[in-house]
Amino acid sequence: MKKILALLLALTMVFALCACGSSSAPAAEAPAAEAPAAEAPAGEKVTVTMIAAQYGPKTGDWWVDFEKKFEAANDGIDLVVDCVSWNDIYTVVNTRIANGQAPDLLNIDVFADYQADGLLLPAEDWCSPETYAKFYPAFLDQSVVDGVCWAVPDLASARAIYYNKDILEQAGVSVPTTLDELVTVCQAIKEKCPDIYPWGIDMTTDEGQAAFAYYTWSYGGGFVDADDNWALNSAENVEAIKFAIGLVNDKLTNSDPANNTRYDLQDLFCAGKLAMMIAPNALSQQAGDAGINYGFAPIPTVAGGSVSAGVMDRIMCFDNGQSAEQMAAITAVVDAFYDDEPYSEWVLMEGFLPATSAGGEACAAADPAMATWIDIVGSAKFYPTAKAEWADVKQGVIDVEQQALLGGDVQELLDALQAEIAG
């Protein structure tokens, strides 16, 4: 009995401390808010903090180099860039925000949640008009909420079908231009090369929303309707997901779409074990290095046209009560980053596509294959990341796909999701 009491005592202690925790929290926030103001007069240097996403092995070094060059050119500014891998960036950023320690600049994919909480500054406050004018307008539109642009694109990547020319030749088929053709091509490959997976599908927590986008866009559906309202259970979407699941059930795809990430698929493609997959342009380099005789083609639609899917990341600025001096420093960092030369170098380094027209021209001039991609990305469709419910929709469609893979009814699942999101 005594021991039970003792444990209860321990539990009450936790609660008591919890109460202390909550009451002391506002007090703790105060010094954090003061900090920037206190810094400016004390040191002559203005500090700009930034969290950047690590796109690949070279990203970290590039930022270190950028920091050095920037600080050498701008005497009064101390730039601190923190490079975080994609696996961990949300954990790191959310922990910092919850503690009032948001960075000045953040390079990540989403922005709507931060904007909804009033944490961001409008792009025009920190992005000089010269830099702002460089972006493709269609890209900027993706970051507009209530008529204000809250973030600027840092890069883009476009998706297309990559195919292994040798395998297709061996199977005596050419790259599909409609979804019906896709099925016949897959069947032909399966017949002629039984050891090879004809088609790659990734429906994992990593990037399952991409599969949803490819197939529903191909069928003329998508995440939203013409009025930009969620339309997840449209007839087109149901057909599209059924089609994709059908490919899996007919054994025309990789063995485990709920667990094979796009990276797994890219590795399979580069090992010659996968004939076709939808992938970003960065695969060109990897496949080339691996000695694969590859080609790429637009994603076919059911009607016979094509659709291109784009993915775009952003740079945004948090409202930390910065002084005018600090704002000027932030603008200087952004201007330096988008300066044509370092910017194209940065984009090409990890095999992405530029988000500025000057960058696009430079890249297209340097590499004819790039020109095709820049055309593709120019007309690409994007995820509706500016909508507040996006995070739930993204997880929701992945869940629908995985349940459907386990035998769930697509119509029912999408109806339930639509009701949950919009209802």
Partner 1 sequence: MKQKKPYTHLNKTEPYLWILPSIILMAIFIIVPIGFVFRMAFSQVTKAGLIKGFCGFNNFAKVLSGAKFGMVLKNTIVWTILVVGLSTVLGFILALILNNEFKGRKIARAIVVFPWATTLVIQASVWKFIINTDYGALNTLLKTLGIIQQNVNWTPTPEAFFAWEIACGIFVTIPFVCFTALSGLQSIDASYYEAATVDGANYWNKLFKITLPLVKPSLTVATVLNIIYVFNSFPIVWTITKGDPASRTDTLVTYLYKLAFYNGKQGEAAAVSVIGFLILLVCASVYMVSTLKKGDE
Partner 2 sequence: MAANVRVNWGKLLSRILLYFAVVFICLFILYPYFVMVCTALKSRAEIFAMDGTIFPKVTMWSNFIDIWKKAPMAKYMGNSIIIAAGSTAIAMICGIPAAYALARMKFKGQTAFLGFIIVSQMFAPVVLLIGIYKVMQILGLTNSLLGLIFINAAFNQAFTIWLLRGTFMSISAEMEQAATIDGCNRVQAMFKVLLPVAAPGIVTTLIFIFINAWNEYTVALCLISTETIKPLTVGINIFNGYNMIEWQYLFASSIFAIVPVVILFMSIEKNLASGLTAGGVKG
What is the distance in angstroms between the CA of the first residue and the CA of the last residue of the chain? Answer: 50
Kindly state the smallest distance separating residue 259's Cβ from partner 2, in Å: 15
Residue 316: CB atoms within 10 A of its CB come to 24
Q: Which positions ≥6 away from 400 have C-beta within 8 Å?
A: 212, 241, 408, 410, 413, 414, 417
The minimum distance between CB 7 and partner 1, in angstroms, equals: 5
Q: Taking CB within 5 to 8 Å according to partner kind, which of partner 2, partner 1, none is near residue 56? A: partner 2
Q: How many Cβ atoms from other residues are within 10 Å of residue 104's Cβ?
A: 25
Contact residue for partner 2 among 19, 20, 28, 37 (CB under 8 A): 28
The length of the chain in residues reads: 423
Q: Which does 85 bind (CB under 5 to 8 A by kind): partner 2, partner 1, none?
A: partner 2
Q: Which of 298, 305, 256 is nearest to 278 (CA)?
A: 298
Backbone dihedral region for residue 121 (phi beyond 0: left; psi -120 to 50: alpha; all else: beta): beta
Would you say 46 or 283 has its CB closer to partner 2? 283
Q: Counting Cβ atoms within 10 Å, is residue 323 exposed (0-12), middle (13-18) or buried (19+)?
A: middle
Q: Choose among partner 1, partner 2, none what residue 116 binds, the Cβ cut-off being 5 to 8 Å by kind.
A: partner 1
Compose the 152-191 pattern: x for residues touching partner 1 by CB under 8 A, - for all others: ----------------------------------------
The CA distances from residue 59 to 87, 304, 310, 351, in Å, are: 15, 39, 21, 11
- Its sign, for the CA torsion 110, 111, 113, 114, is positive
Name residues contacting partner 1, limited to 232-291 (CB under 8 A). 254-256, 258-259, 264, 267-268, 271, 273
CB atoms within 10 A of CB 84: 18
Q: Write each residue from 334 to 373 as x if it is in contact with partner 1 (CB under 8 A), else as -, in one continuous string.
A: ----------------------------------------
Residue 152 burial class via C-beta count within 10 angstroms: exposed 0-12, middle 13-18, buried 19 and up: buried
Nearest distance in Å: CB 20, partner 1: 7
Q: Which is nearer to partner 2, 142 or 266 (CB)?
A: 266
> Where does this chain touch partner 2 (CB under 8 A) — which range of 20-28, 183-191, 297-305, 321-329?
20-28
406 sits near partner 1 (criterion: CB under 8 A): yes
Report what 349 binds from partner 1, partner 2, none; CB cut-off 5-8 Å by kind.
Answer: none
Find out whether 324 and 241 touch, Cβ atoms under 8 Å. Answer: no
Residues from 87 through 146 that contact partner 1 (CB under 8 A): 90-91, 94-95, 97-98, 113-114, 116-117, 119
Write out the residues near partner 1 by the rule CB under 8 A.
Answer: 3-4, 7, 11, 13-15, 17-22, 25, 90-91, 94-95, 97-98, 113-114, 116-117, 119, 203-206, 254-256, 258-259, 264, 267-268, 271, 273, 388, 391-392, 394-395, 399, 402-403, 405-406
